[in-house]
Amino acid sequence: MKGVTILGATGSIGINTLDVMSRYPDRYRVVALTANSEVERLYRQCQTFRPRYAVMGNELAAEQLAARLRKELPGTEVLSGVSGLERVAALEEVDIVMAAIVGAAGLLPALAAARGGKRILLANKEALVVAGAIFMDEVRRNGAQLLPIDSEHNAIFQCMPDGFERGLAQSGVRRIMLTSSGGPFLHLPAAEFASITPDQACAHPNWTMGRKISVDSATMMNKGLEVIEACLLFNTTPGDVQVVIHPQSVIHSMVEYLDGSVLAQLGTPDMRIPIAHALAWPERIESGAGRLDLFEVARLDFEAPDLERFPCLAYAYEAASRNDTSAVIMNAANEEAVAAFLDNGILFPDIPRVIRGTLDELSPRRVTTIEEVLVEDRRARAAANGIIKEMKSDYCQ
């Protein structure tokens, strides 16, 4: 019986994880569930899964949850804030931590799981992008296991040979082909980007996801973050990671070997597949996902990404090639810009403008500690918000 903590249980990945786990009550036990502000949703999940701990983002939300659980589930201890998240990520009785908080907010709890030597199922790509080599060092030093949940990285992991950590060339691999659906605006002329609404940006053609990653998919920043993630997870450089637009999202990514063989992982676009894979690895369990019907799919298309209409991908390639805080700055600016767009404060094409402006305004630094990373993250958010404020005041005139 494996004890599991789900960080971000009320989100899209959290809900899918509970769905897979609920099929195997004899194999997995929910130890802790966490949310930020969705008290009602976490309360209902607690009723069903009866965790030992529940964590809310702040004290007020935690008090509200505790008041509802007190009589019904006196055995569930309610905690709050980052310290609560870090605690449930590192508990002795926990074997597996699903890191599914959105954004850099998930960094410290994911790091706590790494320091606790857990099996980390990493959905929260921003944590890895921001902490980079520092995160990977903590994983190695503490004997933690990092299994990717992003469908693309999970696919690459499945296609890689044993010992890939040594590097691609040493493992007989020539390059990684990272597929991308291209998002909802793949062929929309750039002139029409300014009229895109948040709801249109969140309506992904193939996947149902949280709102932040949906917007990232629409700007292709998601693919950019994934290029950086691939470099870190598979010990390679951005030149060896090719982005391939594949609108059907059936091939989740590919690995090309030195002899010319290309291995791919295919499946329906359902996050329960990578979640089940990483939960049970190296065994296989049923995920609940529908089976792939190639006759229904009928054809698979591929094209090159358009970096002019989707400059976020170019910014990420640039950040991936630098050994400094460019990725921290880019990620922070993106999170602030996406939040402003979802709030109807700025336009869709303003998102890359905010990121470019922030990258141009700040000089990236070399950092070696998480504390320095967090300082840089805050500095970038302040700069990005300055740019957003100016944009908003221009729109008001």
Contact set with ligand NDP (CB under 6 A): 8-14, 35-38, 57, 100-102, 105, 123-126, 150, 207, 209-210, 212-213, 271
Residue 202's Cα: distance from chain center in Å?
A: 16
Q: Among positive and negative, which fits the CA dihedral 164, 166, 168, 172?
A: negative
Q: Give phi and psi for 211, each to the nearest 5.
A: -70, -35
Q: Which is nearer to ligand NDP, 9 or 255 (CB)?
A: 9
- Cα–Cα distance, 195 to 58 (Å, whole number): 36
Q: Are 368 and 134 in contact (CB under 8 A)?
A: yes
**Minimum CB separation from ligand NDP for residue 40, in Å?**
10
Listed in sequence order, the DSSP H helices in 170-220 are 198-202, 211-219
**Minimum CB separation from ligand NDP for residue 41, in Å?**
6
Q: Which is nearer to ligand NDP, 209 or 354 (CB)?
A: 209
Residue 31: CB atoms within 10 Å = 22
**Minimum CB separation from ligand NDP for residue 304, in Å?**
23
Q: Which is nearer to ligand NDP, 234 or 391 (CB)?
A: 234
**Minimum CB separation from ligand NDP for residue 217, in Å?**
9
Q: Which is nearer to ligand NDP, 181 or 236 (CB)?
A: 181
**Minimum CB separation from ligand NDP for residue 344, in Å?**
18
**Minimum CB separation from ligand NDP for residue 149, in Å?**
6
Q: What is the CA radius of gyration of the chain?
A: 21
Question: Which residue in 159, 169, 363 sits closest to 261, CA to CA?
Answer: 159
Q: Which is nearer to ligand NDP, 6 or 354 (CB)?
A: 6
Q: Three-class SS of residue 328?
A: helix
Q: Which is nearer to ligand NDP, 35 or 337 (CB)?
A: 35
Tokens standing for residue 264: 């791919």
- Cα–Cα distance, 170 to 153 (Å, whole number): 19
**Minimum CB separation from ligand NDP for residue 105, in Å?**
3
Q: Which is nearer to ligand NDP, 209 or 391 (CB)?
A: 209
Q: What is the DSSP letter of 303?
A: B
Cα 11 to Cα 163, 219, 265: the distances in Å are 33, 21, 25
Q: Three-class SS of residue 235?
A: coil
- Return the residue nearest ligand NDP (CB atom): 11
Q: Which is nearer to ligand NDP, 124 or 171 (CB)?
A: 124
- Cα–Cα distance, 95 to 75 (Å, whole number): 20
**Minimum CB separation from ligand NDP for residue 92, in Å?**
22
Tokens 């998480």 sit on residue: 370
